[in-house]
Structure 1
Amino acid sequence: MAPAQQQEVPGTGKKVVEQSRISPAPGSDVPETLPLTFFDYVFLPFHPVQRVFFYDLPCSLSDFLRSHLPHLKLSLSLALRDFRPLAGSLRLGSSGGKPEIRCSGSDAVAFTVAESGDDFHDVSGNHARDCARFYPLVPPLPPGTEGGPVLALQVTLFPNAGVALGITVSHAIADGSTSAHFLKTWAGICRLGTGGMAPCHVAAAPPSYDRSVVRDPKGLERTFLRDLKLMQVDRRLDALDLHGRNDVVLATFVLSWEQLKKMGERLSSRTGMECSPYTVASGLIWSCLVKARGGSGGKTEYFGFVTGCRARLDPPLPATYFGNCLGICRVEAEGRDLEGEDGAYIASMAIWKVIRGLEGGGAFRGAEDWIRDIHSLASTGILTVAGSPKLGLYQVDFGWGRPRKIEVISIERTSAMSIAEWGKDGRGFEIGLALPRELMRGFSALLADRLKLFRSS
């Protein structure tokens, strides 16, 4: 599609330079219809996952359009050849059928090119920034019937500073592992060169679409379809959604490997438990947030996270399996305990006990309640986790180097904390939170104080 004339989006500092649709390159052997599994059903009620990757790239708009954009488009087309369902449409089975992804010869992914007048280095920092500043950087999923498109992409140039890649993907068709697999494949082709029409697995192994490997001895598909139907008018998930408020800010908190190690050593010396860095970091954030909110009022507090199940199934699924394969985990603790000086330890121990219980088939204990639990706990102020340091998203290099920063914008819609490897060294963690401004101030002060206590040991 030919480039459109630049269109300024009022009130955003964004100019749309081009809107096009990128089709998968020919030669795909991906099935035309791909059914969802019970793992996918869990995420059907959720908003799409939205991330922004910021890259240093000091060039003009004309240089970007001439030297970089053609490679992005061609490599995307080649990557979509093996990841064709991402260019397809989600059908929710309104006529009585089951949800599925359908592929056709007209499939394509909406691809927007834009220019921003915002301050690249400021918006890609760690400090608290208005969430509204990120809206112009992530594209909406185009409207469709019965579910519609599942992926939209946007590249935004900040002239002579950098570029932002915005990704919006339906969580019902891809978990973090699948999204990371696609992005690394696309970036690898772009970085290494396409070699004409070389196969996309020049960058990574192709995805696996074999749904027969997902066994369902508990009949979870039937249970989840029933629960989804019952929850169609349930509005409790709205309690997690902060979108539309003008006081919500997004901030990133870095926990270095040295800090995580010291926290773990102090926790071990006091409790005798050897917790993972993920557990220690999550417990610290959870306890600080409970206290920053003014205390629990004596109620039970909840923390939720997902665990990868590809290796937990019997037989295990390939690491390249396309779709969702996550288990839902719930942790609870007394709010008064989390508010105290030992709150981070207590929270970490509670999380670690649940993680240890995942072994030996424990990941599916109570699985029949996953969808109902998600809705029932939404109104309790539960803190959940988006992302994982294991995804390695800072390895997504299109030839511009590693990202300077990655933001998960959609945590504003789920009141989750995002977690990723620290982009600086890959060993520490980056924690993202979207909170009302005053709550963010209180949380930041509490976290700084508790980190001082850990460093003093």
Structure 2
Amino acid sequence: MALKVIKISRVSPATASVDPLIVPLSFFDLQWLKLNPTEQVFFYKLTESSSSRDVFYSSILPKLERSLSLILTHFRLFTGHLKWDSQDPKPHLVVLSGDTLSLTVAETDADFSRISGRGLRPELELRPLIPELPIYSDSGAVVSLQVTLFPKQGFCIGTTAHHVVLDGKTAEKFNKAWAHTCKHGTIPKILPTVLDRSVVNVPAGLEQKMLELLPYLTEDDKENARTLKLPPVKEINAKDNVLRITIEISPENIEKLKERAKKESTRAELHLSTFVVTFAHVWTCMVKARSGDPNRPVRFMYAADFRNRLEPPVPVTYFGTCVLAMDFYKYKAKEFMGEDGFVNTVEILSDSVKRLASQGVESTWKVYEEGTKTMKWGTQLLVVNGSNQIGMYETDFGWGRPIHTETMSIYKNDEFSMSKRRDGIGGVEIGISLKKLEMDTFLSLFYKWIGN
């Protein structure tokens, strides 16, 4: 895709503050310090007249910029930087007077309908729609944005965000707040404004253990573990032919998966939620699509929200990350490659979700710690990004809801995405990114059980 950068703006909060803001990373924030940023893109279709260059640059872009400036007054952390000074035991988020957020404005003559579609598309064609997020050894930006115009077709908003500053819920609140401010000209009443990390009550010593785990999350040795630089990502080359697809799973197909689980399991009390059966189906199809050595190690994870599981619970207006990885690592591929692979995964996930009601942070952490320390080279990894409770389509800036959204970071982070469907009640939407040979096999297996 040919992309022309028109300008790179530095957007300041509408209400300036001279006081520096210094926020230490919490236990939950630290877990994501070495994870590559989350990247998302939201596509908005416009009429030919409303998406002309004149209308876009005279009306649409100024509204987006003004509303962004207004909402950044309440999301100041997004203008700051991640820092880890030599005298500090852990990193901090630092916002100084005059700090700004980077907003790239670009144009492309690509076919909007095809790029924003749900069918198979080359991963490389969508990559230019995502802004860079500069991160160095001692400092790093935490959020950057990009607005790309498809003249006479529509536009998209690309976001790149470091996971230490937000999780899915905080990101959803920001997107909705920015959209509401742009459409209505007013700031929403309820915003995540609590920055005090002392409200996150976890057992003493866990933060230090998380810091000691950092060398295992990167290729750096213990002496270089303090660097903020992120580990290398999987390169995407044209010869790899990496494709992405968005699949909508209807409520009827979710019921098919639940009935299959009931039929194949000998256990009476399974937690058969949409999340569990969807994750189980995707995971087993992924393992089978990879094929190869049945004795290879595999590892799969999801992020559990601990806001209401701490004592006392974290305030609903908390600004930050409050999720912890639920880790499943003591398995080999052969346990999921057979006909019983789906029900095996359902039972594992079902047990995990049911334990969450009583399982504390420390016991969850110990499993993740052991899984990370013992992870072997060549392990097949899959993490679900999001859940069927996360809404990606409630972001109407004044020109209608997005016709499609993509989580662009799933390939390099060994993830698949999950969110609410755009239309209709129930069901779920997932995003997959794989090399063509694996994608062909995955789709064949996936549709075998739920229909095309």
Is 1:255 equivalent to 2:244 in the alignment?
no
Structure 2 partner of 1:5: none
State the identity as a percent. Answer: 35
Correspondence list, 1:183-202, <5 A: 183-194=175-186, 200-202=187-189
Match of 1:346 among 344, 347, 363: 344
- Taking a change above 3 Å as real, the CA distance of residues 320 and 28 of structure 1, as seen in their structure-2 partners, is farther
Unaligned segments of structure 2, at least 5 residues: 222-229
Q: Output the CA distance in 1 between the equivalents of 2:216 and 2:257.
A: 44
C-alpha separation between the residues in 2 aligned to 1:120 and 1:341?
Answer: 41
User: Which aligned pairs between 1:126-145 and structure 2 lie closer than 5 A?
Assistant: 126-142=118-134
Match of 1:305 in 2: 302
1:330-345 correspondence runs (5 A)? 330-332=327-329, 333-345=331-343
Higher alpha-carbon deviation: 329-338 or 217-226: 329-338
* Partner Cα distance (2:137, 2:294) in 1: 45
CA displacement 1:228-254 (0-9 Å, x = unmatched): 25655359x969735446421111122
Q: What letter is aligned with 1:355?
A: V
How far has the Cα of 1:347 moved from its partner?
Answer: 1.4
Of the structure 1 ranges 339-348 and 61-70, higher mean CA displacement relative to structure 2 is found in: 339-348
Deviations 1:99-127 (A, max 9, x none): 11111111100111111111111111122
In the other structure, the counterpart of 2:359 is 361
SS in 1 for 2:389: helix
Deviates further, 128-137 or 222-231:
222-231
Q: Does 1:37 align with 2:29?
A: no
Alpha-carbon spacing, 1:431–1:374, altered in 2? closer, same or farther (3 Å): farther
Change (3 A) 1:238 1:99: closer
Q: Which moved more, 1:80-89 or 1:356-365?
A: 356-365
Q: Does 1:450 align with 2:449?
A: yes
Q: With the length of structure 1 as denominator, give the TM-score of the two structures.
A: 0.89
- What is the SS of the residue equivalent to 2:327? strand
What is the CA distance between 1:212 and its match in structure 2? Answer: 1.2
1:336 aligned partner, one-letter code:
K
Aligned equivalent of 1:71: 63
Mapping of residues 125-204 of structure 1, within 5 Å: 125-142=117-134, 146-194=138-186, 200-202=187-189, 204=190
Q: Residue in 1 aligned with 2:196?
A: 210
- Deviation per residue, 1:192-220 (Å, 9 max, x gap): 124xxxxx334x43421121111232411
Aligned residues of 2:202 and 2:361 also touching (Cα < 8 A): no
Which residue identity does 1:350 align to in structure 2? I
Cα–Cα, structure 1 residues 374 and 127, in superposed 2: closer, same or farther, change >3 Å? farther
- Cα 1:92–1:55 change in 2 (3 A) is same
Q: 1:226 aligns with which of 212, 229, 247?
A: 212
Contact 1:223 1:368 (C-alpha < 8 Å) held by counterparts? no
User: Structure 1's 117 and 94: CA in aligned 2 closer, same or farther, altered over 3 A?
Assistant: farther
Are 2:77 and 1:85 aligned? yes
User: Do the aligned partners of residues 118 and 31 (structure 1) sit closer, same or farther apart at CA in structure 2, a change above 3 Å counting?
Assistant: same
Answer yes or no: is the 8 Å Cα contact 1:19–1:112 preserved in 2.
yes
Query: Closer, same or farther in 2 for the Cα pair 1:363/1:231, shift >3 Å?
Result: closer
Give 2:40's aligned residue: 51
Give structure 1 stretches of 5+ with no counterpart. Answer: 1-11, 195-199
- Aligned-pair distance for 1:291? 1.0
In the other structure, the counterpart of 2:318 is 321
CA RMSD, aligned part only? 2.4
- For residue 360 of structure 1, give the secondary structure of its aligned residue in structure 2: coil
Letter of the aligned partner of 1:210 in structure 2? D
**Does the CA contact (< 8 Å) of 2:296 and 2:378 recur in 1?**
no
User: Contact 2:271–2:354 at 8 Å: present in 1 too?
Assistant: no
Q: 1: distance between equivalents of 2:192 and 2:244?
A: 35
TM-score (ref. length: structure 2)? 0.90
Please give the secondary structure, in 2, of the residue aligned with 1:165.
Answer: strand
Paired amino acid for 2:323: L
Question: In the alignment, does 2:385 pair up with 1:391?
Answer: no
- More deviation in 347-356 or 162-171? 347-356
Give the whole-Å Cα distance in 2 for the aligned partners of 1:239 and 1:426: 39
**Shift, 1:445, TM fit:** 1.0
Q: Is the 8 A contact 2:216 2:372 kept in 1?
A: no
SS at match of 1:34: strand
Q: Shift of the alpha carbon at 1:364?
A: 3.5
Call closer, same or farther: CA 1:26–1:240 in 2, change over 3 Å. closer
Paired positions, count: 435
In the aligned structure 1, how far is the partner of 2:7 from the partner of 2:412?
Answer: 28
Taking the aligned partners of 2:22 and 2:77, their CA distance within structure 1 comes to 9
1:428 aligned residue = 427
Distance 1:296 1:70, change over 3 A: same
Counterpart residue number, 1:197: none
Name which of structure 1's ranges 334-343 and 270-279 shifts more when overlaid on structure 2. 334-343
Counterpart-to-counterpart distance in 1, 2:354 and 2:363: 13
Of 359-368 and 172-181, deviating more is 359-368
